[in-house]
Amino acid sequence: MAEASGGDMRAFLREHNIHEVECVIADMTGIARGKILPKDLFLSGEHMRLPKSVLLNTVHGEQPNNMPYVGPMDPDMVCVPDPATIRVVPWATERVACVIHDCQNFDGSPVALAPRSVLRRVLEKYRERGWKPVVAPEMEFYLVARNLNPHEPLSPPTGRSGFTEQGRQSYSIDAVNDFDPFFLELSAFCKQHELGVETLIHEAGAGQMEINFTHGDALELADRVFLFKRAVRETALRHGIFATFMAKPMETEPGSAMHVHQSVVELASGRNIFSNEDGSESTLFRQFIGGLEKYVPPATLLFAPHVNSFRRLSRFQSAPMNVHWGYDNRTCGIRVPNSTPLNRRVENRVPGVDVNPYLAMAATLACGWLGMTEGLQPAPPTAESAEHVHGELPRNLEDAILQLRGCPALAEMLGPLFVEAFCEVKELEFATFSRVISSWEREHLMLLV
């Protein structure tokens, strides 16, 4: 969206006859938190306040010991609306607007625990060098039949034809058309919500779809992804089905990713610094790839933040387990698509769609920045399949936590306090998961060992 001001927000609310405003922030898991305020209270100039500890919720609603991160009194933070993010909520029954907020301390400094602050921190490091990242995410997700029993496996929904998909339907137009009512409404919502959605395709899995976004500013794209997930879920509910952004929702189907295409332009000229004037690859382009090779493994916790994430990152599941790179090579974790020198870019294929978009964007750009500033050189490109390459990424959530904790360079990029708090949140999630006795254990161990 174009930059707006406080006065523009007032005019926006008046123009769209808005009655209430959803004031939202993203916590560490990417869940929307905040308050719904009457329009007049929102415009009163008194910013929303929330406890800092809200940012530390696990995906199941618990919190680790938050004293080291917010202090003994659990103080408030000030949530300041970003006028550039104001949008109409198209699925609301009344006239409602949504505004994403930045989390600040009372002295105006950013709250280091807030994911939006983490991304801003990384982008500021680029700005100090005279650079600006350009990103384009690709979002995969599943449509599934309504399932109110978490002990039952998920299954594809029934489309207009009355049938459910029984096989792989990659790029099938008819398979997408089977859910025309859903996609027509989703398209309308995305247009009203100003999400900049570009293309829709059917992915490999049964009921698996992919939406691509137009390229642009990293913070704006993270905002769009954050809002898009909610738009998809809301639209699905209106059509009697569920939409899930789990990385691996079904045992026999491929996982869902959020691939991130990224390039870097020079602020002064707008020139893509990945290309030399003669159109050849620049040194910075190679160094960016070198940074991804070195730092994506310790950053994996930001790309695979849940126990389920690592079910996607497994062999022969159409997801990378490596940080090899190659030209137009989808078996590599780092892919360089065919493009013109103006559009030269790098695709990070490691992130799952279950990420917090602010943190995934911050992490992948941090890896590339470290490569360029440390002068890292990549290995030779991989010209053959890298499906057999494994062991370059952490294999589970616990390993990923240990690797992130052991990387001071990433801690400096993302903020030491944030990294330690994020690892604490994920340790608590892992501990809670580890207490669960699965049906597999009962089936194979109860009477046999």
Q: Which domains are present in the chain? A: 6-111 (3.10.20.70), 124-440 (3.30.590.10)
**Residue 112 in contact with residue 415, Cβ under 8 Å?**
yes
The span from the first CA to the last CA of the chain, in angstroms, equals: 60
Q: How far apart are CA 213 and CA 407, in angstroms?
A: 31
With a cut of 50, which residues of the chain have pLDDT below it? 1-3
pLDDT at 1: 46
Closest by CA to 210, choosing from 152, 112, 305, 143, is 143
Q: How far apart are CA 363 and CA 346, in angstroms?
A: 14
pLDDT at 167: 59
Longest dimension (CA), the chain: 70
pLDDT at 174: 62
Residue 136, H or E segment: strand 131-145
Unique residue bearing structure tokens 């989390």: 103
Is the whole model's pTM more than 0.75, yes or no?
Answer: yes
pLDDT at 6: 59
Q: Return the amino acid letter for 79.
A: C
**Residue 81 in contact with residue 7, Cβ under 8 Å?**
no
Parallel, antiparallel, or unpaired for β 32-38 and 76-81? unpaired
